[in-house]
């Protein structure tokens, strides 16, 4: 019998969102993250998914990470597939830094498609990392630290840096010093990619994206923005350091990724209906 009415309400919100036949595997508070998180299994036609979700402001359900239970290494969210392009925007992929582990989707992808690339994983929330180990096949050491602190205390260099830092209120507070450290942490020829969720409606996003662009441009680097038409999906902002990687060659980048890494479905759909540019896509 459920005696905690807060929990009962959260369960009913999960069923409203994922359907009444969804199976809630776990629902618990993640202290550092600052909200309740949950794991839910659900079906969409013949496909079965497992999602790590959380509650945002106003008890809103937010999907943090998702896994196809039949093909766990395949990326479910379109923005994650976009972020994977950064492995073909960098001159080499010997190592990668994943800031924000969530349900470890990018890590599973790397294990399967970039087994020769050494990942470093950083996440600030112990409960989320434990949940990823228990429910999302994560089997890799994770540095339990805020990404900002990790970068401030590290002098390592990475070919690819993926930034996907989200809490219950949206994107983590990221300032210019963070972007400076991120770009300093890129190996020569490296590439950074950042995920911006709700970029068209969240007023916090634009200033942070502009700050990354300014830090990049001060080094003579041109950011690239990719999102799907309609502005309802996420926006990915890349900072490649190889001068030849420009917005007009993103299709070639995808071709390279498919050719070298045997991406599922030959990467079909990744760039379909996408807007690619060098400026934040909305005024
Ligand atoms: C959207 S999830 C990341 C999903 C991940 N990219 C994947 O492959 O499944 C966001 C994660 O960022 C973490 N996070 C938020 N702010 C952080 C910070 N300042 N430092 C480190 N991790 C943070 C949260 O704990 C959460 O696990």
Tens place of pLDDT per residue across the chain (283 aa): 445 668 999 999 999 999 999 999 999 999 999 999 999 999 999 999 999 999 987 789 999 999 999 999 999 999 999 999 999 999 999 999 999 999 999 999 999 999 999 999 999 999 999 999 999 999 999 999 999 999 999 999 999 999 999 999 999 999 999 999 999 999 999 999 999 999 999 999 999 999 999 999 999 999 999 999 997 889 999 999 999 999 999 999 999 999 999 999 999 999 999 999 999 998 7
Mutate to test the pocket of ligand 1, among 101, 148, 162 (most ligand atoms within 8 A of CB): 101
Look at residue 35 and tell me if it is in a domain: yes
Residues 122 and 40 in one domain: no
Number of domains in the chain: 2
Question: Is residue 252 located within the same domain as residue 135?
Answer: yes
Distance, CA 1 to ligand 1 centroid (Å)? 33
Closest C-alpha residue for ligand 1 atom 20: 146
Residue 103 lies in a domain: yes
Whether residue 52 is found in the same domain as residue 97: no
Whether 37 is covered by a domain: the verdict is yes
Gap from CA of 52 to ligand 1 centroid (Å): 11
Residue 58: the pLDDT is: 75
**HEC profile of 210-270:** HHHHHHHHCCCCCCEEEEECCCCCCEEEEEECCCCCCHHHHHHHHHHHHHHHCCHHHHCCC
Q: Which domain holds residue 50?
A: 5-68
145 shares its domain with 252: yes
Residues 41 and 131 in one domain: no
* Alpha carbon 95 to chain centroid, angstroms: 17
CB 135, CB 49: distance < 8 Å: no
**DSSP state, residue 143:** E
Whole-model pTM: value is 0.97
Let me know whether 132 and 178 are in one domain. yes
pLDDT at position 233 is 85
Q: Quick one: pLDDT at residue 6? A: 87
Residue 110 lies in a domain: yes
Does the beta carbon of 128 sit less than 6 angstroms from any atom of ligand 1? yes
Give me the pLDDT at residue 5, please: 65
| Ligand 1 binding pocket includes 100 (Cβ within 6 Å) | yes
């Amino acid at each position: 019998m459920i005696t905690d009415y807060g929990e009962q309400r959260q369960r009913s919100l999960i069923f409203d969102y994922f359907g009444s036949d969804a199976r809630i595997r776990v629902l618990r508070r993640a202290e550092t993250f600052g909200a309740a998180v949950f794991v839910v299994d659900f079906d969409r036609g013949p496909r079965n998914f497992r999602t790590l979700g959380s509650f945002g402001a106003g008890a809103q359900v937010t999907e943090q990470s998702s896994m196809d239970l039949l093909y766990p290494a395949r990326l479910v969210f379109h923005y994650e597939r976009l972020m994977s392009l950064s492995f073909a925007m960098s001159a080499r992929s010997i190592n990668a830094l994943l800031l924000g582990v969530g349900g470890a989707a990018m890590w599973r992808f790397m294990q399967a498609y970039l087994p020769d690339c050494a990942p470093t994983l950083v996440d600030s929330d112990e409960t989320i990392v434990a949940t990823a180990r228990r429910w999302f096949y994560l089997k890799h050491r994770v540095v339990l630290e805020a990404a900002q602190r990790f970068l401030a205390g590290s002098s390592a260099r990475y070919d690819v840096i993926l930034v996907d830092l989200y809490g219950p209120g949206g994107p983590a507070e990221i300032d210019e010093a963070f972007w400076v450290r991120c770009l300093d942490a890129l190996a020569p020829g490296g590439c950074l990619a950042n995920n911006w969720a709700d970029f068209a409606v969240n007023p916090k996003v634009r200033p942070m994206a502009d700050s990354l662009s300014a830090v990049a441009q001060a080094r003579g680097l041109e950011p690239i923005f990719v999102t799907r038409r309609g502005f309802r999906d996420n926006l990915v902002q890349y900072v490649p350091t190889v001068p030849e990687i420009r917005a007009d060659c993103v299709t070639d980048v995808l071709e390279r990724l498919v050719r070298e890494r045997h991406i599922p479905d030959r990467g079909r759909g990744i760039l379909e209906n996408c807007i690619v540019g060098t400026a934040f896509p909305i005024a």
